Amino acid sequence: MAGTIKLESNTKCFGGNQKVFSHLSEELKCEMKFAVYEPPQLAAGPVPVVYWLSGLTCTEQNFITKAGGQQHAAKHGMLVVCPDTSPRGCNIEGEDTDWDFGSGAGFYVDATEEKWKNNYRMYSYVTDELPNLIAANFNVTPGKSSIMGHSMGGHGALVCALKKPGQYLSVSAFAPICHPSACPWGIKAFTGYLGTDKNVWQEYDACSLAKSYSGPPLQILIDQGSADNFYNQKQLLPEDLVSASTDNRNVSVVLHMQEHYDHSYYFIASFVGQHFDHHARYLNA
């Protein structure tokens, strides 16, 4: 049944529990998996929640097995939720053809193109269905949510925070795709999911959203490795987001360029503690 979650695995970790669940998604019309880290503080009462959005080709497993984030979540008493990156097994022609489009590459948009629009609704899944599922099944503190992500998931985190003012108290990203309307990955995904009208693309472009954002003050923390091949190939364009936010006093971008770091989870693991510290300033205030 939709709304019912099934425990798939449970492993003790840093005094808490790393779990994986499955459920039938109403938005995506398929079975989905998501990971939840329950900090030890959950035993004593409600805790804030941080959503992690992963990048291209990833599943709910990448962050929980490679980032080492559980120790920081345990330190700060945060529930961490990691959804998959796309619908799976929808029997859509071409869904498994490319690594950067279709399965594993939902781009956190609600597709409007006929072929994809019934299943590829990752934006609504992440910002609506999944939070409702978490609230119904876990003892989380109302109004205490933050979001972060990596690469395509960094794009997703930025878009969710900018499109849903006030839903997330803080946002951060590792090597995010900041200007998808102007990079090859984004152009391919937006054309496929949203069509050729570039005005529609702006609804899921962090640079455009940062210019028009009028919600509560939002400080965006970004870490970017200087040795990241995708950064050097102009897929990520974080400087564009810094420029886009310059004239909006409600949005500030703190961009840390990390010398010699690449796009991998070694990079994420090196700085993920600082991101949890960033979110703790807002969630535990």
What's the pLDDT tens digit per position in 214-238?
999 999 999 999 999 999 999 999 9
Per-residue pLDDT for 3 more than 90?
no
* Residue whose C-alpha is closest to residue 15's, from 45, 40, 38, 51: 40
Which of the four pLDDT bands, split at 50, 70 and 90, describes residue 138? Answer: very high
Identify the residue whose tokens are 């072929």: 115
Number of domains in the chain: 1
Percent of all residues in the chain with a pLDDT value above 70, rounded to a whole number: 99
- Chain-wide mean pLDDT for the chain? 97
Q: What is the CATH number of the domain that holds 162?
A: 3.40.50.1820
Which of the four pLDDT bands, split at 50, 70 and 90, describes residue 2? Answer: low
Per-residue pLDDT for 194 more than 80?
yes
Which of the four pLDDT bands, split at 50, 70 and 90, describes residue 102? Answer: very high
Question: For residue range 199-218, what is the model confidence (pLDDT) as tens digits?
Answer: 999 999 999 999 999 999 99
**141-177: b or e for each residue (b if 16 or more CB lie within 10 Å)?**
eeebbbbbbbbbbbbbbbbbbbbbeebbbbbbbbbbb
Question: For residue range 145-156, what is the model confidence (pLDDT) as tens digits?
Answer: 999 999 999 999
pLDDT, residue 94, reads 95
Task: Please compute the mean of the pLDDT values over residues 100-106 and round it to a whole number.
Answer: 98
Residues of the domain holding 210: 5-283
Which of the four pLDDT bands, split at 50, 70 and 90, describes residue 163? Answer: very high
pTM: 0.97
Which positions are catalytic?
151, 228, 263
The runs of H, that is alpha helices, within 3-129 are 61-66, 70-76, 122-124
